């Protein structure tokens, strides 16, 4: 059975508004189908979308803007932690598994706020995660990477 995501879940993963996800669907940039009158995106279509060169460049720019904002001290919160994690993977299955764990952890955050951006460059095998949030939640997410340290 295919794993299906709602527009809201895709928006959270991509850190965009739900209208943006619906626009991607309307423009046929993101494959989706209607289930019970609601759009659903399967895992393969989401993966294909996230590996599209145009989309990768768009998210890279957004990631660069976050980093630039970090360096310039731009934040509306009293305390915000920004963390960049570069992660070398052996294959796409490994990064897919890790991304699933990151998404599940973020989706289960009880309080506070955490956002992340993610890019993967197959030619180098490097996945870059940029996290923004409060210290408790950032610590929880970053701890996922500890088991991969050698």
Q: What is the 3-state secondary structure (H, E, C) of the chain?
A: CCCEEEHHHHHHHHCCCHHHHHHHHHCCCCCCEEECCEEEEEHHHHHHHHCCHHHHHHHHHHHHHHHHHHHHCCCCCCCCEEEEEEEECCCHHHHHHHHHHHHHHHHCCCCCCEEEEEEEECCCCEEEEEEEECHHHHHHHHHHHHHHCC
Q: Is 140:76 a contact under the CB 8 Å cutoff? A: no
Q: Which residue has the tokens 């993101």?
A: 30
125 φ/ψ sector (left φ>0, alpha ψ -120 to 50, else beta): left
More confident of the two residues 77 and 139: 139
If you average pLDDT over residues 25-49, what whole number do you get? 91
If you average pLDDT over residues 54-67, what whole number do you get? 73
- Determine the pLDDT at residue 108: 77
- Which stretch of 12-21, 41-50, 66-75, 76-85 has the lowest confidence by average pLDDT? 66-75
More confident of the two residues 16 and 34: 34
Question: pLDDT band for position 96 (50/70/90)?
Answer: confident
- Determine the pLDDT at residue 115: 80
Tell me the C-alpha distance between 76 and 82, whole Å: 13
If you average pLDDT over residues 12-21, what whole number do you get? 86
What residue ranges define each of the domains in the chain, with the CATH number in brackets?
1-50 (1.10.1660.10), 52-150 (3.30.70)
For 65, list phi and psi in degrees, rounded to 5: -65, -40
If you average pLDDT over residues 6-32, what whole number do you get? 90
Beta-bridged to residue 132, according to DSSP, are 82, 115
Question: pLDDT band for position 92 (50/70/90)?
Answer: confident
Question: pLDDT band for position 33 (50/70/90)?
Answer: very high
């Amino acid at each position: 059975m295919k794993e299906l995501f709602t527009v809201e879940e895709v928006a959270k993963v991509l850190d965009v508004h739900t209208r943006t996800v619906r626009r991607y669907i309307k423009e046929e940039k993101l494959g989706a189908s209607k289930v019970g009158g609601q759009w659903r995106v399967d895992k393969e279509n989401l993966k294909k979308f996230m590996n599209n060169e145009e989309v990768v460049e768009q998210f890279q720019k957004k990631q660069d803007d976050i980093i630039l904002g970090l360096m310039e001290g731009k934040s509306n919160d009293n305390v915000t932690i920004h963390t960049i994690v570069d992660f070398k993977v052996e294959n796409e299955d490994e990064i897919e598994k890790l991304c699933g764990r990151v998404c599940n952890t973020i989706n289960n955050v009880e309080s506070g706020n955490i956002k992340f951006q993610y890019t993967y460059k197959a030619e180098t095998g490097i996945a870059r995660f940029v996290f923004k949030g409060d210290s408790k939640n950032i610590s929880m997410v970053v701890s996922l990477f500890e088991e991969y340290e050698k």
